[in-house]
Chains A and B, each alone.
Chain A
Amino acid sequence: MEYSEKVMDHFANPRNVGTIEDADAVGEVGNAKCGDIMKMYLKISDDGVITDIKFKTFGCGAAVATSSMATEMVKGKTIQEALQLTNKAVAEALDGLPPVKMHCSVLAEEAIHAAIADYYKRRGLNPEEFMGACDMNCDTCGKH
């Protein structure tokens, strides 16, 4: 199993690591399969643009690299755009992941979804009205 140069770059020098004290949304998800855990912090402007994003990840090289890449991909995007981000797109942006590592990349997508769900909840809104019924088997909405 070997990681691409891009994966190793994002792993060795992860972008956007850290926390945001006054975050507008926080999402934390765990991969019950392999044990990786990821936490995302978002700053979201009044017109729904992600102005800042930070993450912390407890996980393997693939988990760290996909967290890093995913934060770069959604920073500056609207919530709706961020919700379109898939783990496949993140993996492609990293020039691919070894097949056994694809499950680690799901975490970044889930963490962003979890954070956005938290954003709606903090505003007294039902995330499902904006995000659609959750079809993911994760902790995004705490329903499963």
Chain B
Amino acid sequence: MERVVYSDNAATTPISKNVYNAMLPYLTTGYGNPSSLYSLAREEKKAVDQARMYVAECLNCEPDEIIFTSGGSEADNMALKGLLFRKNFPKNKRHIITSAIEHHAILHTCEFLERIGYEVTYIGVDEQGHVKMDELEQAITENTALVSIMAANNEIGTIQDLKAISALCHSKGTLFHTDAVQAVGHMKIDVKDMGIDMLSLSAHKIRGPKGVGALYCRKGVVLEPLIHGGGQERGKRSGTENVAGIVGLGEAMRYAKEHMDDYLPYVASLRDRLIEGVLKIPYTRLTGDPVNRLPGTASFVIECIEGESLVLRLDLAGVATSTGSACSTGSLDPSHVLMAIGLPHEIAHGSLRVTLGEQNTVEDVDYLIEKITYVVKTLRDMSPVWDEKMSGQPMLNLFDK
């Protein structure tokens, strides 16, 4: 293997040097329990407070509006269940609205809520993945407790108009939560300016450690804890703090706030170079919004090849990517996101997601273009569907049954 290019940064990111250095003391000498009274633990308490400050500064909120969690999934669960399960929550408010393209941390939570008697409306998206605002407007009723729409999609990178969505929610008297796991650190987020009531984030998508994240919960929004116990996080999330992880998250957020203006344009330029190169392959399209998309996310559908084969062959060439093809999902359908943007089954079968980060280089991108082009050609050479497309014969109607 000549070279290895990690380009699946939407799945997770490598820990950065500064995060590693910030965490190290808390994995070695800084072992005190932040809740203890003795001086040994003072450093740890200070470190957690400092991290909370960094997170708050990056989002433009108050430190005590941040609740540390075990990651994005817990933050999502906390936002939805914590609100609905709250004592004295209005009896009529048993309706939640979300979108058809959310991460499973939201969708499976919603399915669970439906099973125990809540009502959920799933708003559709247009072919670029934007939530249909008219559908959303019609769906909100006086019984709606919460609207939860992701800030940016993990498969196709489309960024939602958060300001417009929150304005609509508030004009109709409902709260707005956003799963910003893919967005934080990859675009400017200002919870006050954007009118966000709750926001989920995760450290490992921004070069922090896995297993730590946070929920921003605006002052005045009261949640029932999911985890009861020793009363950490002001009683909102019990359990002895993951000090090293929280410090890592804080450092990643500090870095994001300070350096975003430099690395965002850089990563976007890599992405655009990649998109330009890959779209030179015939019968290939970009998925998602071509403009309002995450700076690192390049997502495609490539006709007449299958995504899992593509990803496996790219892996053999030293390139890490992902796909939402039917054969990769473990179920028999392509990813729900590709279905929701209206792609036909056989087109969604050939999806490819390449997600870049600050650590990637122009050389990486050129290597990616070369390998993707080569592997697509190899797979098309052995694809009966490609032969039929090239000979102008109609494809067998194998799916019209």
Contacts and interface: CB of A to CB of B under 8 A. Distances in A.
Contacts of A34: 326-327, 332
B384 interface: yes
A38 interface: yes
A36 B327 contact: yes
Contacts of B330: 1, 100
Interface stretch (B7-15, B141-149, B173-181, B308-316): B308-316
B309 A64 contact: yes
B326 A35 contact: yes
A37 B382 contact: no
B137 interface: no
B399 A35 contact: yes
B344 to A, nearest CB: 10
Contacts of B304: 58
Contacts of A11: 309, 312
A90 interface: no
Contact of A37 (B328, B332, B396, B401): B396
A14 B382 CA distance: 10
Contact of B382 (A56, A61, A62): A56
A38 B384 contact: yes
A28 B345 contact: no
B292 interface: no
A87 interface: no
Q: Which of B312, B330, B401 has the most CB of A within 10 A?
A: B312
Contacts of B116: none
Nearest to A99: B330
B94 to A, nearest CB: 35
Contacts of B307: 60
Contact of A61 (B305, B308, B345): B308
B387 A60 contact: no
B325 interface: yes
Contact of B316 (A12, A30, A59, A100): A12
Tell me the dominant secondary structure on chain A's binding face: mixed
Contacts of B399: 30, 32, 35
Interface string A26-42: 00111011111111000
A57 B384 contact: yes
Interface string B322-362: 00011110101010000000000110010000000000000
Interface string B377-401: 0000111111100000000101101
Contacts of A116: none
Contacts of B251: none
B382 A36 contact: no
A86 B12 CA distance: 40
Nearest to A1: B330
A36 B312 contact: no
B396 A30 contact: yes
Contact of A58 (B313, B328, B384): B384
A60 B384 contact: no
A5 to B, nearest CB: 13
A58 B308 contact: no
30 contacts: A8-B312, A11-B309, A17-B382, A19-B387, A28-B384, A29-B398, A30-B396, A30-B399, A32-B401, A34-B326, A35-B306, A35-B326, A35-B334, A35-B345, A56-B387, A57-B382, A57-B384, A58-B304, A58-B305, A58-B306, A58-B384, A58-B386, A59-B327, A60-B306, A61-B309, A64-B309, A64-B382, A103-B332, A139-B396, A144-B401
Interface of B: 304-309, 312-313, 316, 325-328, 330, 332, 334, 345-346, 349, 381-387, 396, 398-399, 401
9 cross-chain pairs, A with B, having the tightest CB-CB distances, nearest first: A30-B398, A60-B327, A39-B384, A60-B308, A56-B384, A34-B326, A58-B383, A58-B385, A35-B349
Given A35-B345, A61-B312, A61-B327, 7 more contacts: A1-B330, A17-B382, A33-B326, A35-B325, A56-B383, A64-B309, A101-B327
Interface of A: 1, 8, 11-12, 14, 17-19, 28-30, 32-39, 56-64, 100-101, 103-104, 139, 144
